[in-house]
Amino acid sequence: MRALALGRSTPYVWAMLSNSRFNPATGLADFWSEFRRPHPYRWPILGLSMLPIGALVFYLWQDVSYAPPARPEVTYITSYSPDRTDEEIAATNEANQRRKDELAQQRAEIENRKREMYRELGRASGMDVDAMERQIAEDKAREEAAKKQAGETVAERGE
């Protein structure tokens, strides 16, 4: 303690480190005493123990440089000829609209068939399907009125 108070802390710290279990000096001294003993396998064991670290260092030491990738070739796919007239464009638009309308009509027919099948199932199960449909229609009308009322309120405030 007196050495520490006088500023000479080296012997004090060395004494503390020599008693520490984390001191590498004791480990190195033990290794050296075992390595100096004549043993027929000490050099092969040393070589084999250094091999994984040496292989790792060799692998990481490699300087590999890759060439930049080649630029891709862009191929443009054109669906329409670039020299179409306005009449041709209008004709294809009309044909697409007709096809779209036919698909919408088919979807509506499928939905109607589904509804009718569910109505029949409900009637077969003993449910009052007509009352349920009236209740659903009333609920939708109330929701629409509430939305309309909310829209008018926002419009009156000028938002």
Tell me the average confidence (pLDDT) per consecutive run of 10 residues in the chain, 159 residues long.
Answer: 52 58 80 83 88 92 85 84 89 95 97 94 91 93 91 67
118 CA to centre of own chain: 41
Query: Do 35 and 42 meet the contact criterion of CB atoms below 8 Å apart?
Result: yes
pLDDT at 7: 54
For residue 121, the model assigns a pLDDT of 92
CB atoms under 10 Å from CB of 131, counted, come to: 9
Q: What letter would DSSP give residue 79?
A: S
pLDDT value, residue 82: 80
